[in-house]
């Protein structure tokens, strides 16, 4: 079966690399250079598939400078943002600062933040709003735990999380949604493409009902959780899956480049 070339609604696939707390700013420069060369060598078409990296905060200025100086077509973003604009919030980073660094995106509500920092749906929603306010596209992460899956099936928890996160988001807002089953993150056990499709379709319905038909059609819904070069094509074949949020494999340059080039290795 061929990989769907374009996605309906004119959605450009997005391959996003969440580096988590890996690679310092010097390693980030070397990595981004290698990634750009590798994709350029392979005549990668950045208009056809968008590629974004999400380094730690301390790397962002270096990554921005490199991308701008070398006119690279990679996009980039941060892994979190404060719900506040400025003030007495020690350790937090404002969306205004990320915007000043030309970030395109910011991840909000990653399961590691929900679990380790006890972030609630309400806080995730406030962060998404802050991102939008500062001209960043929030990548809103949702996903069920293994217990949720056993108790409620795959869609219920992610649908409830996204519904809550979008509560105060204005109709037509530009967002990305990432479905990441918690049990699939870093476990080597990805969801089946069928499950990813089922939940992605349900999440698209949430976007449609909260943000309008147009947003429902144009919003990219990503799958995340143990994505690698060997399984990416099976997810990208699904009509409602528009890309991937990649963790572990996103800091291995050849593996990540290969994921970005999923159209070239269908059937391998």
Q: Three-state DSSP class for 70? A: coil
Contact 166, 207 (CB under 8 A): yes
Q: Is 186 in the site for ligand PGA (CB under 6 A)?
A: yes
Q: Is 185 in the site for ligand PGA (CB under 6 A)?
A: yes
Q: Based on the shown chain and the rule CB under 6 A, indicate whether residue 17 belongs to the binding site for ligand PGA.
A: no
Q: Which stretch binds ligand PGA (CB under 6 A): 163-171, 191-199, 230-238, 242-250?
A: 242-250
Size of the site for ligand PGA (CB under 6 A): 13
Distance CA 210, CA 223 (A): 21
- 40-49 own/partner pairs: CB under 8 Å, 24+ apart: 42/257, 42/261, 42/264, 44/257, 44/260, 44/261, 46/73, 46/74, 47/12, 48/12, 48/13, 48/263, 49/12, 49/13, 49/14, 49/15, 49/243, 49/260, 49/262, 49/263
Work out how close the CB of 165 gets to ligand PGA at its nearest, in angstroms, rounded to a whole number. 16
Q: Does 80 bind ligand PGA (CB under 6 A)?
A: no
Query: Would you call 25 a catalytic residue per the annotation?
Result: no
Q: Is 211 in the site for ligand PGA (CB under 6 A)?
A: no
Which entry of 112, 119, 180, 197 is annotated as an active-site residue? 180
Element (H, E) at 155: none
State the binding string over 135-174 for ligand PGA (x if CB under 6 A, else -).
Answer: ----------------------------------------
Does the footprint of ligand PGA cover residue 67 (CB under 6 A)? no
Has 117 been annotated as catalytic?
Answer: no
Among residues 50, 110, 134, 144, the one annotated as catalytic is 110
Interface residue with ligand PGA among 161, 224, 233, 242 (CB under 6 A) is 224
In angstroms, the first-to-last Cα distance of the chain is 12
Residue number with the smallest Cβ distance to ligand PGA: 247
CA distance 169 to 122: 12
By annotation, the residues acting in catalysis are 110, 180
């Amino acid at each position: 079966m061929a990989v769907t070339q374009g996605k309906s609604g004119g959605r450009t696939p997005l391959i996003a690399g969440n580096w988590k707390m890996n690679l310092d700013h010097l390693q980030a420069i070397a990595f981004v250079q290698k990634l750009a060369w590798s994709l350029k060598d392979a005549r990668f078409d950045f208009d056809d598939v968008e590629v974004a990296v999400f380094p730690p905060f301390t790397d962002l200025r270096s990554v921005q400078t490199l991308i701008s100086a070398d006119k690279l077509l990679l996009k980039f973003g941060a892994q979190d943002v404060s719900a506040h604009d400025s003030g007495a919030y020690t350790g937090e980073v404002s969306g205004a600062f990320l915007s000043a660094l030309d970030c395109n995106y910011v991840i909000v509500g990653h399961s590691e933040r929900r679990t380790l920092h006890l972030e609630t749906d309400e806080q995730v929603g406030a962060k998404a709003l802050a991102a939008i306010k500062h001209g960043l596209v929030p990548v809103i992460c949702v996903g069920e735990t293994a217990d949720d899956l056993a108790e409620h099936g795959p869609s219920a928890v992610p649908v409830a999380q996204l519904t809550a996160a979008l509560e105060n988001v204005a109709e037509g807002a530009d967002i990305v949604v990432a479905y990441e089953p918690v049990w699939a993150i870093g476990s080597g056990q990805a969801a089946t493409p069928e499950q990813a499709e089922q939940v992605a379709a349900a999440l698209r319905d949430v976007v449609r009902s909260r943000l309008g038909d147009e947003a429902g059609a144009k919003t990219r819904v990503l799958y995340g959780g143990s994505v690698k070069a060997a399984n990416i094509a099976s997810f990208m074949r699904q009509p409602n899956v528009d890309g991937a949020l990649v963790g572990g494999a996103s800091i291995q340059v050849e593996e990540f480049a290969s994921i970005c080039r999923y159209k070239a290795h269908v059937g391998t």
